Amino acid sequence: MMGIAWLRTRRDVPLGLGRITIAGAITLFGPPLVGILLALIGGAISPSQNNLVFGTGFVVFYSVMFSWAGLLPGMALHWGAWRLGWGGFLPCLALATALGLLLAEFVGPLAWIFGIPLAAIYWWTLRWLSPGSFRPAAVRAPSAMGD
């Protein structure tokens, strides 16, 4: 079983722009599809549209209106962090928190509320697409030469 790269990632395994683009597309368009499904299920449960399932699906469906504003710069910043060896799960969540709080000043708190789960979806999708890139960075053992 492969460990989770909480902080550091391997810089020697290429991530690739295609994988980043696919992960971004899944992160951007996946939640609205789940939102439609939840809204349809909620509408079938209660046609009055006053239930929690329909409301949650409605909010998740419209999350795409604000999520792109944080996802696109977040993808670029995470790629830069990954190139420096800091592409782990916690740095990704820290970037999402910072961008979400910055965007919350302009578009409201939903940017921060949706930013963290979308960052987790993005990171796990990248990990699924390129598992070798997200192995924990190897720790160098001290050599006999003292370096």
User: In angstroms, rounded to a whole number, what is the distance separating the alpha carbons of residues 103 and 132?
Assistant: 32
- Specify the pTM: 0.78
Scanning the structure block, which residue is given the tokens 């998740």?
60
pLDDT of residue 1: 42
pLDDT, averaged across the chain: 82
In order, the DSSP letters of the chain are -PPP-SS-B-SSS---HHHHHHHHHHHHHHHHHHHHHHHHHHHHH-TTS-SHHHHHHHHHHTTHHHHHHHHHHHHHHHHHHHHTT--SHHHHHHHHHHHHHHHHHHH-THHHHHHHHHHHHHHHHHHHH-GGGGSBPPPPPPPTT--
User: In angstroms, rounded to a whole number, what is the distance separating the alpha carbons of residues 112 and 96?
Assistant: 8
Scanning the structure block, which residue is given the tokens 């902080």?
7
Residue 22 has phi, psi (to 5 degrees) of: -65, -45
pLDDT surpassing 60 at residue 31: yes
Question: Is 138 or 128 the better-scoring residue by pLDDT?
Answer: 128
